[in-house]
Amino acid sequence: MKKHTYRIYHIIISIIFVSMILGGCKKDTTDPINEGNKTIEDDDSIVETGEDTDEDKADTSKIKEYAMHMGTVEVEEELIYEDDFEGDSTLFTGRGAAKVEIVNKSKVGEKSLYVSGRTALWNGATVNLSEELKDSEKYIVNGWVYYEVGPDQIQFDCKVERNNNEYLSFASAMANKGEWTEITGSIIIPEDTNTASVYFETGFAGGELIDFYIDDVTIKHEIAKVDRGDIPSLKEFYKDLFSIGVAVTASEIPPDRQDLIKQQFNSLTPGNELKPDAVLDYAKCISDPKYDDNPAVNFSRVEPILEFAKEANIPVRGHTLVWHSQTPRWFFTEGYSQDANAPLVSKELMLKRMENYIRQVLEYTQTNYPGLIYAWDVVNEAINPGEGDENGLRVKDSLWYEVVGPEFIEKAFEYARKYADPDVKLFYNDYNTEETGKLLYIKRLVKGLQDKGLIDGIGLQSHLTMDNPSLVDVNSSLLEYGELGLELQITELDMGLKSNTEEDFLNQAKRYKRLFMFIKSIHESGAANITNVTFWGLSDDISWLNKPSEPNYPLLFDNYLLQKPAFWGVLLSPDIPLY
């Protein structure tokens, strides 16, 4: 085992799109709009909303034009831990029932760490680095994994356990049997971390708990000195139109990110910490029969986000109260049993659990953070046409539907309206909302809730790619939903991009610019009451779209929090051409 310190310095040169700035880009009205097969002449929606497609004539009467510039970053890396297992001892220990030993098998050299005796997926190899891993600092972990017996392919995960009860995923890799596979990722250690361990485990392997090997583990502390320059504020740019939000998790708000969030955004969404699996307290639920119809809750995971929002005076969107996903099955079972075959409770009992859960969440947030949460996604992703329900509701993987029936949606809104403060807005939230079939079912659902005074708005997630959906379809759907007269909020915006060349980033910026010109035009025309646009994450490195060995670049800031061309596209910069 080796443990020492050294420093490496990198200078990341800012990317300047010289040709774009000097040469610009002349509009050719015969070119495709890059939205399927339509050309600009075919795009009736632009005419319908009063949009001027000539970038030189873009409406700037209410906003200031900004010339694009990029920043610079100086990166310092400090190696805080490494182990090639070539010695006779290691700081790694078995996690749970797992046992570890140094053996004569290696990727490079002669030895590696062998992990065996596992009785659960979370059993693996762990190393305590409580002294080395500091609050709010970023670390890069790299290692190699290998297995000989089991399925042809399996997922390996590297995680951090903090404070002995919270588990942070940050690195995964799909490994093939008999091949050494690299696993790497970065993590920002949350504030108030008292203990921290890095550990390796496997995912589900078809019922098998495989033995595996680990080799060449390194952990580096990364310090980035960033100079973004004098950049404008998104929230100020759009202050007369709608608020601009960002989704964060508790591990994503160290001081440097807090400063950028305060500068750029005036709405905040907890990405995971207000979902049922983060709030429900299983240990307490099973501790006393009194919790059988009144589930116990715990808000420790969301408190850092709410405290930050309160201090920064940033209003919060609550996400989400009722969702088929990230709600544990035991919440629906008799006695809160975790047995895979445990019977589900009656409809009557489940409705009591639902009401008391919603009541407690709203009472806690409104009592401890009065006025902070201005809107709630009450029900999330309940529409999935083609599963047999006449109203297009999700059937196959929804325990809410299975236990309560289709009326669970209306009951959720009924309870939310009952316990929410009068000025809190209630939303239905979903994805692929521009698809024609889904749009019609969503409008039908929402209209029924609207007629009963139970809903204030629709959340349109808007997870886009570079090719889909068509912005023409997005534009048309905004007009369709706008007909209901409710608030519209784009709640989870990102734009998936799997390559990071200069050309790719420029094309992403163009698409973002066209999107925001559509949104701006629709709002100003009064065709739809768009009140918020929220980006699903602050920077590319923490996006949910990142997969093992497949990075994604969907957001406005890169992993060093430098503004990308996409940032300037959202600001409608004249240096970003439309096509």
pLDDT of residue 33: 29
Q: Residues 545, 530: contact at Cβ < 8 Å? A: no
Q: Residues 269, 558: contact at Cβ < 8 Å? A: no
- Tell me, what CATH number does 137's domain have? 2.60.120.260
Q: For residue 192, how many other CB atoms are within 10 A of its CB?
A: 12
SS3 at position 246: strand
Does 492 participate in catalysis according to the annotation? yes
| CB within 8 Å of 308: residues ≥ 6 apart | 253, 258, 268, 314
Let me know whether 191 and 311 are in one domain: no
Cα→Cα distances 207→21, 116, 146, 204, 246, Å: 57, 16, 18, 7, 39
Let me know whether 220 and 336 are in one domain: no
- Domains: count for the chain: 2
Does 502 participate in catalysis according to the annotation? no
Q: Domain ends where: 162, 197, 225?
A: 225
Q: Domain ends where: 186, 205, 225?
A: 225
pLDDT of residue 233: 97
SS3 at position 483: coil
Let me know whether 287 and 215 are in one domain: no
Report d(CA 479, CA 47) in Å as an integer: 13
Let me know whether 197 and 237 are in one domain: no
End-to-end CA distance of the chain: 55
Cα→Cα distances 213→87, 393, 516, Å: 16, 45, 49
pLDDT of residue 136: 84
Residue 335 lies in a domain: yes
Report d(CA 114, CA 101) in Å as an integer: 5
406: tokens are 């289709």
Strand partners, 512: none
Residue 56 lies in a domain: no
Q: Residues 495, 466: contact at Cβ < 8 Å? A: yes
Tens place of pLDDT per residue across the chain (579 aa): 444 433 333 333 333 333 333 333 333 333 322 333 333 323 333 333 334 444 444 444 445 677 778 888 888 999 999 999 999 999 999 999 999 999 999 988 999 999 999 998 899 999 999 999 998 888 999 999 999 998 899 999 999 999 988 888 888 888 999 999 999 988 889 888 999 999 999 976 666 789 999 999 999 999 888 899 899 999 999 999 999 999 999 888 888 889 999 999 999 999 999 999 999 999 999 999 999 999 999 999 999 999 999 999 999 999 999 999 999 999 999 999 999 899 999 999 999 999 999 999 999 999 999 999 999 999 999 999 999 999 999 999 999 999 999 999 999 999 999 999 999 999 999 999 999 999 999 999 999 999 999 999 999 999 999 999 999 999 999 999 999 999 999 999 999 999 999 999 999 999 999 999 999 999 999 999 999 999 999 999 889 998 766 889 999 999 899 999 999 999 999 999 998
DSSP 310-344: HHHT--EEEEEEEESSSS-GGGGBGGG---TTPPB
Q: For residue 365, how many other CB atoms are within 10 A of its CB?
A: 22
Residue whose tokens read 């700081």:
91
17: tokens are 């799109």
Question: Maximum Cα–Cα distance for the chain, whole Å?
Answer: 74
φ, ψ dihedrals at 385, nearest 5°: -55, 150
147: tokens are 């297995």
Strand partners, 9: 76
pLDDT of residue 185: 87
Residue 2 lies in a domain: no
Residue whose tokens read 């923490």:
542
pLDDT of residue 168: 87
Half-sphere exposure of 153 (CA within 13 A, CB side): 2
Let me know whether 285 and 197 are in one domain: no
Among candidate residues 51, 161, 381, 434, the one labeled active-site is: 381
Let me know whether 165 and 247 are in one domain: no
Positive/negative CA dihedral, 89, 166, 560, 505: positive
Residue 371 lies in a domain: yes
350: tokens are 């489940």
φ, ψ dihedrals at 123, nearest 5°: -65, 130
Smallest CA-to-CA distance from 10 within 70, 74, 71, 72 is with: 74
Q: Domain ends where: 175, 194, 225?
A: 225
560: tokens are 């060093």
Let me know whether 264 and 286 are in one domain: yes
Residue 24 is classified by DSSP as -
Q: Residues 399, 344: contact at Cβ < 8 Å? A: yes
Q: For residue 155, how many other CB atoms are within 10 A of its CB?
A: 15
Q: Residues 511, 569: contact at Cβ < 8 Å? A: yes
Residue-number span of the structural domain to which 548 is assigned: 229-570
- Is residue 383 packed enough to be buried (19+ CB in 10 Å), middle (13-18) or exposed (0-12)? buried
Q: For residue 381, how many other CB atoms are within 10 A of its CB?
A: 19
Residue 123 lies in a domain: yes
Phi-psi region of 574 (alpha: psi -120 to 50; beta: other; left: phi over 0): alpha
Let me know whether 217 and 251 are in one domain: no
Residue 65 lies in a domain: no
pLDDT of residue 256: 81
Residue 57 lies in a domain: no
SS3 at position 152: coil
- Tell me, what CATH number does 499's domain have? 3.20.20.80
Q: Residues 354, 411: contact at Cβ < 8 Å? A: yes
Bond preceding residue 469 cis, omega within 30 of 0: yes
Let me know whether 217 and 246 are in one domain: no
In one-letter notation, the amino acid at residue 202 is T
φ, ψ dihedrals at 270, nearest 5°: -65, 120
Helix orientation angle between 347-368 and 408-419, rounded to the nearest 10 degrees: 30
Strand partners, 145: 181, 214
Residue 55 lies in a domain: no
Strand partners, 522: none
Q: Residues 412, 358: contact at Cβ < 8 Å? A: yes
Report d(CA 493, CA 474) in Å as an integer: 12
Report d(CA 104, CA 116) in Å as an integer: 15
Let me know whether 307 and 324 are in one domain: yes
Let me know whether 531 and 413 are in one domain: yes
pLDDT of residue 460: 98
Q: Residues 223, 78: contact at Cβ < 8 Å? A: yes
Smallest CA-to-CA distance from 408 within 320, 347, 328 is with: 347
pLDDT of residue 54: 43
Containing 479, the helix (H) or strand (E) segment is: helix 471-482
